[in-house]
């Protein structure tokens, strides 16, 4: 039987997605996924399910329309934007640290123009219904977003709760209903030695805005077998649902490495 790593294609497949379904970890203001059986085998001889979900759940992709008025929805994005060569880089970060342009410049393997870029901060190991993962994670901010635009990154993914640092979202003093978690402002003040969140994170989702306004989609909550391809060049494929006028959607992100040289795929180089 064909398997992800041992199969007759000569390629290795790595799943970089967290499982999606009932009671999966959720961003603070979203409702739970609901899955109901309309038909089931004992009743009808077939299985039919009704699903109610927010599009931004577990490993998912943000379309430009998510934050930029008048930009494309997911079904309007060209398919080649979800496939291509790229790299997984390790940029370990601790609580509330920011990923900087210097971090990106110095990452190995070197990030090249036009790459699909996936960042492993290590926080996918904390993925859970927890305040650590959703409220205290590190992340990218305006400077990193601008760097990726200048580098012409094709698609961006990160193993944190959002494309932006949590304190640059509605978790902090931004956006609809922000701060969603008011006590985070007090905790940050103590953590930072007296600084206010708004002093250090004055902009609302600037990395989102830099990327999405330039047609670069972003994948949040990357996970799965991420550690196994970190430090390697891979070929990536993201499989987003074609939801009409969807501002985002659940995504299956796969990294592929050609072990035979028979395919036009990346061969897992660390250079």
Run of H or E residues at 133: helix 131-135
254: left (phi over 0), alpha (psi -120 to 50) or beta: beta
Q: How many angstroms separate the Cα of 153 from the Cα of each of 71, 166, 216, 251, 261? A: 18, 22, 7, 19, 25
How far the first Cα of the chain sits from its last, in Å, is 33
Q: Quick one: which of 259, 255, 257, 229 has its CA closest to 10?
A: 259
Task: Give the span between the Cα atoms of 114 and 110, in whole angstroms.
Answer: 12
With beta carbons less than 8 A apart as the criterion, state whether 94 and 138 touch. Answer: yes
So where are the chain's domains? Answer: 11-17+54-258
Return the structure tokens found at 125: 């190991």
Task: Give the span between the Cα atoms of 47 and 38, in whole angstroms.
Answer: 8
Q: What is the pLDDT, as a whole number, of residue 208?
A: 98
With beta carbons less than 8 A apart as the criterion, state whether 115 and 266 touch. Answer: no
Q: What is the mean pLDDT of each run of 10 residues along the chain (271 residues)?
A: 87 96 92 94 96 94 96 95 97 98 98 98 98 98 98 98 97 90 97 97 98 97 98 96 92 93 84 74
Q: Is 11-17+54-258 CATH 1.10.10.10?
A: no
154: left (phi over 0), alpha (psi -120 to 50) or beta: alpha
250: left (phi over 0), alpha (psi -120 to 50) or beta: beta
Task: Give the span between the Cα atoms of 66 and 98, in whole angstroms.
Answer: 23
Q: Quick one: which of 129, 128, 123, 116 has its CA closest to 97?
A: 123
Return the structure tokens found at 142: 């305006």
- Give bridge partners of residue 111 from the DSSP assignment: none
DSSP summary character for residue 33: P
**Tokens 């701060």 -> residue:** 179
Task: Give the span between the Cα atoms of 131 and 110, in whole angstroms.
Answer: 33
Return the structure tokens found at 89: 């880089």
């Amino acid at each position: 039987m064909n398997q992800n790593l041992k199969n007759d294609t000569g390629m290795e497949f790595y799943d970089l997605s967290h499982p999606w379904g009932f009671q999966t970890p959720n961003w603070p203001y979203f409702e739970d996924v609901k899955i109901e059986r309309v038909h089931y085998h004992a009743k009808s001889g077939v299985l039919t399910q009704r699903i109610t979900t927010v599009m931004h759940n577990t490993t998912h992709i943000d379309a430009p329309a998510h934050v930029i008025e008048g930009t494309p929805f997911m079904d309007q994005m060209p398919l080649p934007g979800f496939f291509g060569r790229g790299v997984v880089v390790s940029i370990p970060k601790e609580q509330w640290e920011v990923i900087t342009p210097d971090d990106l410049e110095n990452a190995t393997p070197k990030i090249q123009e036009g790459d699909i870029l996936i960042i492993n901060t290590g926080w996918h190991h904390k993925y859970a219904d927890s305040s650590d993962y959703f409220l205290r994670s590190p992340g990218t901010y305006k400077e990193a977003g601008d760097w990726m635009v200048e580098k012409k990154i094709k698609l961006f993914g990160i193993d944190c709760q959002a494309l932006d640092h949590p304190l640059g979202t509605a978790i902090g003093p931004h956006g609809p209903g922000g701060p969603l978690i008011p006590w985070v402002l007090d905790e940050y003040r103590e953590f930072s030695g007296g600084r206010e969140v708004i002093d250090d994170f004055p902009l609302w989702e600037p990395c989102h805005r830099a990327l999405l306004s330039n047609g670069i989609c972003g994948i949040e909550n990357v996970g799965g077998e991420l550690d196994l391809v970190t430090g390697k060049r891979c070929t990536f494929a993201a499989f987003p649902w074609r939801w009409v006028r969807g501002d985002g959607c659940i995504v299956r992100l796969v990294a592929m490495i050609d072990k035979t040289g028979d395919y036009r795929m990346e061969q897992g180089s660390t250079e």
